[in-house]
Amino acid sequence: MPPRALDPAGVALVDKPAGPSSFAIVAQIRHRTRARTGHAGTLDPFATGLLLLLSGRATKLAPCLVGLDKRYLTDIDLTARTATGDPEGEIVETLEPPGEAELERRVAGLRGAIELPIPAASAVKIGGERAYRLARRGVEVEMPLRRSTVHALEVIAYTDESVTLDLSVSSGTYIRAIADALGGHCRTLRRTEVGPFSVTDAVTPEAFEPDMLLTEAEVLARVERGQDGVAP
């Protein structure tokens, strides 16, 4: 079967581990299916959790999936900001962690419609070049703001130096930007949901088999039920 085949067609729910890039996981699944393979949104290498990978003719479903809301768990280090907003970046500022009352005030200000700078280590193009490439060369640029919506943001654990958050956000929201706004950086980040799809139904890249693909009809039905407010 040629590597750009349209079959098998469907959507794979894959639980990405920390370390490899999302594109490495795409290549791993493509090797199993020998079909055209795409994605409905990537995760940074340090992040884990749900990837929706599209196989064969189901790659045409990407426009229906990329705009779905996302849910994340993140552990934020409140003692320092980093250049990238995650553990891979250089520490650029050390901070005295906020007290619980101040943290709650900051968290409250991040619920609902928000506007935050896009992280410098993102793939957004600035003057025709990816921001992360400029950042790697030490070029400082003023990053544009991005408007997004935080539907829910709950503090589920707190210590003097870190906070763990459970967030439900609109597509395109940078959790690293939220961590920076709170005065820290993401120590861990895990995507637990994409629209009506949950990481609890996902498999590791190594465990994936082509017969695990969700059919196009099933995927579209789940998305439609989710938009109607019906539990999947």
Taking only the tens place, the pLDDT of each residue in 113-170 is: 999 987 766 666 766 776 667 566 566 666 677 899 999 999 999 998 999 999 999 9
Q: What is the mean pLDDT of the chain?
A: 90
CA 70 – CA 197 distance, rounded (Å): 9
Q: Does the structure show a pLDDT above 70 at 78? A: yes
2 is a domain residue: no
Closest by CA position to 71, among listed 192, 181, 196 = 192
User: What pLDDT does residue 229 have?
Assistant: 60
232 is a domain residue: no
Give yes or no: residues 97 and 59 share one domain: no
As given in the structure block, the two tokens for residue 124 are 């957004």
In terms of residue numbers, what domain contains 93? 70-192
CATH number at residue 50: 3.30.2350.10
Q: Does the structure show a pLDDT above 90 at 8? A: yes
User: pLDDT confidence of 227, banded at 50, 70, 90?
Assistant: confident
Within 8 A by CB and 6+ apart from 224, the residues are none
Give yes or no: residues 36 and 83 share one domain: no
Within 8 A by CB and 6+ apart from 170, the residues are 69, 70, 148, 149, 150, 151
Give yes or no: residues 170 and 222 share one domain: no
User: pLDDT confidence of 232, banded at 50, 70, 90?
Assistant: very low
Give yes or no: residues 45 and 74 share one domain: no
Q: Does the structure show a pLDDT above 60 at 94? A: yes
Give yes or no: residues 52 and 115 share one domain: no
Give yes or no: residues 86 and 169 share one domain: yes
3-class secondary-structure state, position 2: coil
- Of 17 and 139, more confident: 17
Q: Does the structure show a pLDDT above 80 at 228? A: no
Catalytically annotated residues: 44
Token look-up 């906070």 returns 163
Domain count across the chain: 2
User: What pLDDT does residue 1 have?
Assistant: 44
Q: Does the structure show a pLDDT above 70 at 95? A: yes
Q: Does the structure show a pLDDT above 80 at 104? A: yes
Q: Does the structure show a pLDDT above 50 at 65? A: yes
User: What pLDDT does residue 145 have?
Assistant: 76
Query: For 38-53, what is the mean pLDDT?
Result: 96
Taking only the tens place, the pLDDT of each residue in 175-215 is: 999 999 999 999 999 999 999 999 999 999 999 999 999 99
Give yes or no: residues 21 and 130 share one domain: no
